[in-house]
Structure 1
Amino acid sequence: MLASRIQRRAFSASARNLSKVAVLGAAGGIGQPLSLLLKLNTRVTELALYDIRGGPGVAADISHVNTKSTVKGYDPTPSGLAEALKGSDIVLIPAGVPRKPGMTRDDLFNTNASIVRDLAKAVAESAPEAKLLIISNPVNSTVPICAEVFKARGVYNPKKLFGVTTLDVVRASRFVSEIKGTDPKDENITVIGGHSGVTIVPLFSQSNHPELSSNAELVNRVQFGGDEVVKAKDGAGSATLSMAFAGARMADALLRAADGEKGVIEPTFVESPLYKDQGIEFFSTNVELGPNGVEKIHPIGNIDANEQKLVEACLGDLKKNIAKGVAFVQENPGN
């Protein structure tokens, strides 16, 4: 995988706009491989790693990788977090807990929502101009949580808040390549909506293989690919490595756009006008990136009847997910 998209475009690139990138939750299952991939990116000058435990250790380990960027781990204190964030161009938040035996989905939501809320507050205070990439699930709710936190502090910029949905596109291209015997890099599959279950809508009708839109098994695999990994790991984890790859790809896209590269397009969950008339403030679709973040939000384009049904199912769940995130902040503003 490393020899693919990120490596071709960034790892061997001549760095121009060098950047500080912070990872909050750097010692976790996603955080560690994500931090390693970012260390390999030649556009990253400084890598700041923070976690409630283990950040300095992960930083010491990754700092031995022989690329030019510097790496520093920060103490799990408010001042350590503030220092990690200060001057950051990009902040990625993979922090959170995996679902444990006996834990309900509401338990998981409340725990991760609180973590993301508190980290978002720190970002709003110490790095309000940074581009913020949310990986912590449920993304459909945690991105609205961050927006509400930023709004309350008067620093919300919708062009700089992103939910990382890249994994859905990575999976879709890989799954299609397995069926068709092609190279995944040649399979450009647009995936829209959100980042969980039926809110994930692959648009195979717009790909090289429009007939795949009627392949219910493939659509289901893209929508519930995470379950496949959880089952394979036998309850010992979730999709951490592939998610780290997806997060690194999204960060790289933003770094390339900041360097002035034109036509950088990635799918991402952002504040969007596409379905605002239905009360849906956030939506994932192809987004053209620029130096300031969101440059242009692409419409979903023409879709077939199968996909129209998927979109209708997506919108209902997505609206509820977004509302849940907004309500959480209103009911649990924290300190």
Structure 2
Amino acid sequence: MKVAVLGASGGIGQPLSLLCKASPLIDELSLYDVVNTPGVATDLSHISTPAIVKGYLPAGDGMKDAFTGVDVFIIPAGIPRKPGMTRDDLFKINAGIVRDLVKGVAEYAPKAYVLVISNPVNSTVPIAAEVLKGAGVFDPKKLFGVTTLDIVRAETFVASLSGEKDPSKATIPVIGGHSGETIVPLFSQASPKVDIPADKLDALVNRVQFGGDEVVKAKDGAGSATLSMAYAGFRFAEKIIKAAKGEKGIVEPTFVYLPGVPGGEAIQKETSLEFFSVPVELGTSGAEKAINVVSSANEYEKKLLQAAYTGLKGNIEKGIEFIKNPPTK
């Protein structure tokens, strides 16, 4: 299994690459970024685990050499959020970065799984889809927006209320998108069942939706959620790799193109959106089944979903528009 991390020298890319190097599931690790990748790769190559690590820069045939033969791309490339900056403020810069990287994926490894972390995910995943469509190699079952950090936060914050020592024992569907009010935790469908006091529910939902702001503030403007995002990105990548290797029964929420995933059309009909994050059953072909948890949302969650639909519609359109009518500057 050959995995590439695109944006490997950055705040998310370095810890994500470390987690990949430590994984027994990965045989080769290809690191790509505009600066410092040979150094990051050399540093990681001294770790006594099986994965062979190589680092590439764009010069020469860097992209071609880094991308050829890759099975799974993980893309955290982009600039980080700064204080007062919304995920949407990042749009123009990160949109261009994702577009150019996915063009490389389409050219050099068109059958690979593509895991997009670069924000704003609600727009960068539609951008990736449009680029792959344009190249005639779009497989909706193999394109994923990584929303796992929202799930990881929901698990952690619920555990702090319930007293559960191992937060990861909970399964909490977090659906919709990956910014602010487009993030909708379905606590009513948590397993095992969680009892959240009514007076704490609004604050808990808000914390899951805006947990990133908590990190930006605590880092005093010097960074955003990099370590937790690297963990979440690796957790999702590991599930993709296990499913690709034939492990059954792996389900994880992820932001996908609904019309191209079995079960997705019913969710598209209900949400009126082409892209949406729902629990997805993963398998050897990628996204094998989208699970409709939308229809089971309670009244409180349905109100949250209405706000999510509105936000997502604009985000998705913005991504598609970026490719169809590129900005002149």
Normalised-by-shorter TM-score class: over 0.9
The answer as to whether partners of 2:67 and 2:109 remain within 8 angstroms in 1 is yes
Letter in 2 for 1:241: L
Alignment of 1:67-216 (within 5 A): 67-77=49-59, 79-100=61-82, 108-182=90-164, 183-207=166-190, 208-211=193-196, 215-216=201-202
Post-superposition CA distance 1:250-308 (Å, at most 9, x none): 11001111121110111100011312565411000100000111111100151211101
Q: Equivalent residue of 1:238, what SS?
A: coil
The answer as to whether partners of 1:95 and 1:116 remain within 8 angstroms in 2 is yes
Letter in 1 for 2:292: P
What CA distance in whole angstroms lies between the structure 2 residues aligned with 1:203 and 1:251?
Answer: 23
Post-superposition CA distance 1:73-128 (Å, at most 9, x none): 01223611111110100001100012357978665211110000000101100110
The answer as to whether partners of 1:165 and 1:194 remain within 8 angstroms in 2 is yes
- Aligned residue in 2 for 1:269: 255
What CA distance in whole angstroms lies between the structure 2 residues aligned with 1:62 and 1:325?
Answer: 35
What CA distance in whole angstroms lies between the structure 1 residues aligned with 2:291 and 2:83?
Answer: 41
- Aligned residue in 1 for 2:284: 291
TM-score by length of 1: 0.91
Q: Equivalent residue of 2:27, what SS?
A: strand
State which of 199, 202, 225 in structure 1 corresponds to 2:211: 225
The answer as to whether partners of 1:205 and 1:303 remain within 8 angstroms in 2 is yes
What CA distance in whole angstroms lies between the structure 2 residues aligned with 1:310 and 1:241?
Answer: 28
State which of 39, 42, 49 in structure 1 corresponds to 2:24: 42
- Aligned residue in 1 for 2:220: 234
- Describe the shift of the 1:228–1:330 C-alpha distance in structure 2 as closer, same or farther (beyond 3 A): same
What CA distance in whole angstroms lies between the structure 1 residues aligned with 2:85 and 2:180?
Answer: 19
- Aligned residue in 1 for 2:231: 245
- Aligned residue in 2 for 1:327: 321
**Mapped pair 1:58 → 2:43:** no
Letter in 1 for 2:322: F
Q: Equivalent residue of 1:275, what SS?
A: helix
> How much identity, in percent, do the aligned residues show?
60
What CA distance in whole angstroms lies between the structure 1 residues aligned with 2:19 and 2:172?
Answer: 23
The answer as to whether partners of 1:169 and 1:190 remain within 8 angstroms in 2 is yes
The answer as to whether partners of 1:204 and 1:213 remain within 8 angstroms in 2 is no
- Describe the shift of the 1:169–1:212 C-alpha distance in structure 2 as closer, same or farther (beyond 3 A): farther
**Mapped pair 1:316 → 2:310:** yes
What's the C-alpha RMSD, in Å, of the aligned pairs? 1.8
- Aligned residue in 1 for 2:243: 257
- Describe the shift of the 1:291–1:304 C-alpha distance in structure 2 as closer, same or farther (beyond 3 A): same
- Describe the shift of the 1:200–1:29 C-alpha distance in structure 2 as closer, same or farther (beyond 3 A): same
- Describe the shift of the 1:79–1:132 C-alpha distance in structure 2 as closer, same or farther (beyond 3 A): same
Question: Which shifted more, 166-175 or 105-114?
Answer: 105-114
What CA distance in whole angstroms lies between the structure 2 residues aligned with 1:150 and 1:266?
Answer: 23
Q: Equivalent residue of 1:44, what SS?
A: coil
- Give, in angstroms, the shift of residue 331 of structure 1: 1.2
The answer as to whether partners of 1:268 and 1:284 remain within 8 angstroms in 2 is yes
Residues matched between the structures, number: 316
Letter in 1 for 2:158: V
Q: Equivalent residue of 1:92, what SS?
A: strand
The answer as to whether partners of 2:87 and 2:120 remain within 8 angstroms in 1 is no
Post-superposition CA distance 1:45-100 (Å, at most 9, x none): 00000000011110000111110110000122361111111010000110001235
What CA distance in whole angstroms lies between the structure 1 residues aligned with 2:182 and 2:79?
Answer: 22
Q: Equivalent residue of 2:279, what SS?
A: strand
What CA distance in whole angstroms lies between the structure 2 residues aligned with 1:134 and 1:89?
Answer: 14
